[in-house]
Amino acid sequence: MRARTLLTAFASLFYGAAALAQDGNPVGDLPIIGAPTASGIGFQPAATSLARDLQWLDGMVLVIITVITIFVIGLLGFVLLRYNQKANSTPKTFTHNTPLEIAWTVGPILILMFIGAFSLPILFNQQEIPEGDITIKTTGYQWYWGYEYPDHGFQFDSYMIGAPATGGDNRMTEEVRAQLEAAGYTEDEFRLATDTAMVVPVGKTIVVQVTAADVIHSWTVPAFGVKQDGVPGRLAELWFKAEEEGVYFGQCSELCGISHAYMPITVKVVSEEKYEEWLDWAIAEYGGTPREVADASAAN
């Protein structure tokens, strides 16, 4: 036990660089909300109206699918029993039935129109990017994400804790365990937690510009209901407004090479005051534009 404690202390001395780089980061501890759970089959808790809409739509379509499936299986069963050779040895020989054909054409059209009446507004709501309170640009790299706050002129990279850039080899080791702990996570968050995180204030409209520098990646946070491919040379956008403070995880969702599985996304949603504090810290830490300069140039 003592050896392990010593080892952990030793490890955090040498491998804690990522955690150390975060010294003074005012974000502090937050509840982990947007994360997968062991044996889970449902959605992560919806933290935005987009995610709530998507999950509602999924439930609604599931009901329709279930009814159609039961209906078709029932019809098949009926035909098998009622019209097999034993029960119906001399079949009728007519072919067409106009009312029936109209019904099985119009019926599906009505069902599709019904689904479309709900799905299209949800789709448009996602894809029509509102005026953002804050714009953040994210760039996918093989194999990590970079975040840029253009209004404040700073950027930083975000590596999975345990990735080679943080001294690991994508596997769980004592060093990685120590790094996770130092960053306020547990083993459960391994391969989700990153050394730095995108930080946003709660209840604000965040517009995220998504691009990539090498191959196509995809920036995805399930609890926000957002997923956007980052394509080299193009700037795509997504938006969300997080409703609850906490930590939300996501993963690159476009096969992008050997370490595709090791470029997770961490978003920390904090109060507005905390966000301002963090912004001051980040401007100093990452060499951003001092507030006075940014404010002056914004005013011009």
Do 212 and 140 form a contact (C-beta atoms < 8 A)?
yes
Dihedrals phi, psi of 137, to nearest 5 degrees = -105, 130
Reading the block at residue 277, the tokens are 């504090």
Minimum distance of Cu ion from residue 215's CB (angstroms): 7
Report the residue number, 77 or 257, with the smaller CB distance to Cu ion. Answer: 257
At residue 291, the 3 state secondary structure works out as helix
174-182 and 2-15 helices, crossing angle to 10° = 70
Minimum distance of Cu ion from residue 180's CB (angstroms): 21
DSSP result, 253-271: -S--STTGGG-EEEEEEE-
Reading the block at residue 69, the tokens are 């499936």
Dihedrals phi, psi of 5, to nearest 5 degrees = -60, -45
Report the residue number, 256 or 270, with the smaller CB distance to Cu ion. Answer: 256
CA 135 to chain centre: 17
Minimum distance of Cu ion from residue 260's CB (angstroms): 5
Q: What is the spatial distance between Cα 60 and Cα 115, in angstroms, rounded to a whole number?
A: 9
Minimum distance of Cu ion from residue 252's CB (angstroms): 3
Report the residue number, 8 or 142, with the smaller CB distance to Cu ion. Answer: 142
The residues of the shown chain that bind Cu ion, judged by CB under 5 A, are: 217, 252, 256
Report the residue number, 46 or 210, with the smaller CB distance to Cu ion. Answer: 210
Handedness of CA 164, 168, 170, 176 (dihedral sign): negative
Minimum distance of Cu ion from residue 175's CB (angstroms): 24
Report the residue number, 7 or 261, with the smaller CB distance to Cu ion. Answer: 261
Report the residue number, 223 or 256, with the smaller CB distance to Cu ion. Answer: 256
Minimum distance of Cu ion from residue 36's CB (angstroms): 18
Phi-psi category of residue 238: left, alpha or beta, with phi > 0 → left and psi -120 to 50 → alpha: beta
